[in-house]
Structure 1
């Protein structure tokens, strides 16, 4: 049988809730064949990130070449890329293999506050990855960082940020509104023409580790299966809402989302 193929280029989370591990679980749940390129190893659990160990450019390049030269990918999702050099390499390889669907999750800061992207890498992300992105998925702090402005507090500020990020080259922009504290959980989707508000009831739980990775991976999986960007984002929104609704109370800190929850709701 044939199957849609999705590749994640991201960091490994030893705690299993985010990064490569979350992406592969999401790909599997959404009936896509998951593959991985590990950019960094992290020593991580529900209490935070205790160490970051970037992989060499040689190791990252070898992984990408091995996967794309043989198996190929119907969609690629990028997560933690850590440095400007890694971003440059990844962008170069995605162009070389003419990857059609690219989801860029601009991972910058872990839930516990640890920096996952070097300061000088932000410019590389803007200059090299955003222009080839099919969808970018920043949360509010990440969107503010990319645009060099104060963090957004309102839906109207989010809408303007979506327009401004689109002008940097990304074909479609998702801004995740989970950091807003009042009202329902609203994410924005902008395709360059229309801004759509994707609204769900806000779920009261602290166990949200890996939500951004999982959401972006779900978008990539749906794109790999041939959905439009808007359809993929809507499907991914339902998937992550279920995963948060039945999030897992494991560990001593912030637990992960539940990647199989969509089968139970």
Structure 2
């Protein structure tokens, strides 16, 4: 991707450039591309990080990410919108996922893969065979087990660096505010409106960003409400939950 952004990131075509990657293949390809674009002093590390490390040379990071983390998250670190600082913030973040069903399965996997530091999962339900066609975080071996346990094990296999905190319970008015206050942001993957309004209210009073998600058949909705910055909440759009007969799940 560097060669696509070169004119923006590297305006001086005579400045010396040293490129490196994991194995040296991508850096070699990019070096050739940059030379064809007119960059006069481009070199790359032959064999990449692996050869450098294998030769016993000293390896230093910037004090924020380890070499393993730089390699693991390299495809998102190269994005200008994330970078090293963005990845550091992801690794230090705490996200609460409410619901480990259809939406929660996909969201949980992608959050873990991206390097979220702490992922809390709230769900009182158990894995049923009928869940497996869409709740991809669960498998046959987990039928009958609590969804939070099944999801936690899958996430640990995907990215052992993520700290998974499970809450085997139904979110209630007695627990919601205290629980949500422990996290930086809440991702609502619940499947009913009473739960969504409860999460919204707790996020409002705790001043936590609330990511609202819902899906039925081939339709879906997603919104972000951030009361911390004085923004609107779910009740500002829909003051009261719809009647159950008008909003089947």
Q: Do both share a fold (TM > 0.5)?
A: no
Structure with more of its chain in strand, by fraction: 1
The one of the two structures with greater contact order (alpha-carbon pairs below 8 A, sep at least 6) is: 1
Q: In terms of Rg, which structure is larger?
A: 2
